[in-house]
Amino acid sequence: MTCDRLVCANCAGPVSEGRCSVCRAHRARMQEGGPLAALTPAALIALLLALIAVAVVAQRVATA
């Protein structure tokens, strides 16, 4: 999620502008993100497909 369209409840301005301390704190929190925050949607899809492939291979090895 990005803060481009978020509106601050404190100052009623866009969070991306950082008009008040609440906006700036939320914007900083959004920019920190987690370990997957830097991945693009294409990279997340590729990761998901790789996990599915590993699961399929593991299932075939277990049943053989």
Residue ranges covered by each domain of the chain: 1-33, 37-64
Terminal Cα distance for the chain, rounded: 43
Q: Would you state the pLDDT for residue 2?
A: 56
pLDDT digits (tens, 9 = 90+) for 7-34: 888 898 888 888 899 888 888 877 776 6
Q: In whole angstroms, what is the distance from residue 41 CA to residue 53 CA?
A: 18
Higher pLDDT, 64 or 40: 40
Torsion of CA 31, 11, 21, 34, to 10 degrees: -20
The overall pTM is greater than 0.85: no
